[in-house]
Structure 1
């Protein structure tokens, strides 16, 4: 118990140290001088976030149906995702979105804890594979930031072929799932990866949206490179639910594209603010369900 508390305290210190560092780098006038139309962009970003969450809910529905032979309405699962987002944003380290879905499957749908955890693990593994595919797509387009000269180390033909190679390596994912007693066909694994790729495009679209709002000329494909790295950074067990790491990695990568640090940090804060709004919707649902 003491070790857990120490780890949590270290994560809190690390997350807030990163946030303080970012705020010290931020020219506050950039935030204060944002055009009022930013609220329209935030509203659109919230809608995109909800669409992405619904797509993820559909994937979870497919996984539960496939493994547990139990059909749970995607709308119901969507509510679980919204509640999970609230806990991820406001109570990171205490209970996450995964724990919310596990608990809801157990308490509301009669699924035992072991099966519920296994389904959520399957969701996580397919999501991670989807991230790798998404990152490999950015290798195909090769719109890397300055200083990231991957072409000097990896032959161009390998970079171009990497998305197709990863898709062909899909049986490895099914093998890993099978090792965790999650018997799955290659076709089903491919289907779930496609769905998660669609969902992961949400944050990429939001980043591109805010980028355009602030007058940046960063190609859309650049965010296909940036966002998977941001996602991977947030799942590392070094911070409080990815807090600080998410904003730091995102703004750091944007500066490599020549973007002013204050602009990059502003975009990351706008994206975080969007998640806060959607998380508050989850809190309202949580209160109604109590």
Structure 2
């Protein structure tokens, strides 16, 4: 019950964050212009983007499956991935998407450290891919060479890349050093087993490089889908601007301030694309349409899990087993 109350409290905080940000957006921007942007979208376009988005998540599930060294069957990994997507975007009070995905994988694999290392590794690789795409888009912008333009972009990208590298390569030796030096610290067994799993993953540079390129390719397709959704609404900016702004907005949206980035992603993307000629209401309208894609994909993931006999909530006992 305490876990459920804590999850609900976190959900309410994030829901409040989304509500506040959306309130500011609709307060400062003309609501009529945002709503008019939706009318320019066609259902065939929206559904085609949704279908392509789902295929991208099948590819994302396969990347996570490879990082787990294919220790479970791909259908199990796919089911767990879509269950995590559903929990992350659709369920108030449910465990986080990564926890749900890890719980289902652990139920099949019974190897908590491997599941944890693959989950964190997958997240860090995605962040590193976003940072690389952001830097690439930034360098392709005509204004990239102007003084002062690197003030925010390069430090953010470098911080993300440093975080990913630290998680994948620095954690194993640091964990061994800390828990060897102070063996009385809690969770010693778990920390050392996770460090061992991370160490095994770090010894496979070809796999890490492949999954990094794979992740960048998936994210590039997602950017292209966002462009397809935004252009009919009226957002016409250079491709380089999209490859700069979209990853940065997604990184900002990962901060635990909102429900799946709702409001934060749209506001950030509008602020980043307006200097390149986009109208803020059009960017917000296309961004909210993209959020509709995200939530529909989460609902489809929930339907897949329920029809296959599963549940969206990860039991506390399963999460406890992962840490043992």
Range into which the TM-score falls when normalised by the shorter chain: 0.7 to 0.9
TM-fit CA distance, 1:50? 1.2
User: Is the Cα contact below 8 Å between 1:64 and 1:119 reproduced in 2?
Assistant: yes
User: Is the Cα contact below 8 Å between 2:38 and 2:286 reproduced in 1?
Assistant: no
How far apart, CA to CA, are the structure 1 residues paired with 2:109 and 2:97? 19
Aligned to 1:248: 267
Q: Deviations over 1:168-219 (max 9, x none)?
A: xx98775236544312222221111011111112321122112221243212
TM-fit CA distance, 1:39? 1.1
Q: CA RMSD in A?
A: 3.1
Match for 2:19 among 16, 21, 29? 16
Aligned to 2:68: 64
User: Is the Cα contact below 8 Å between 1:203 and 1:227 reproduced in 2?
Assistant: no
User: Is the Cα contact below 8 Å between 2:233 and 2:285 reproduced in 1?
Assistant: no
1:277 aligns with 2:296: yes
Gaps of 5+ in 1: none
Aligned to 1:97: 97
Q: How does 1:155-234 map to 2 (within 5 A)?
A: 175-176=169-170, 178-179=172-173, 180-181=195-196, 182=198, 183=200, 184=202, 185-234=204-253
How far apart, CA to CA, are the structure 2 residues paired with 1:115 and 1:247? 35
Q: Secondary structure at the match of 1:216?
A: coil
Gaps of 5+ in 2: 174-194, 310-324
Q: Secondary structure at the match of 1:88?
A: helix
TM-fit CA distance, 1:133? 1.2
Match for 2:147 among 148, 152, 161? 152
User: Is the Cα contact below 8 Å between 1:122 and 1:177 reproduced in 2?
Assistant: no
Larger radius of gyration: 2
TM-fit CA distance, 1:227? 1.4
Summarize the Cα distance change of 1:139–1:252 in structure 2 as closer, same or farther, 3 Å threshold: closer
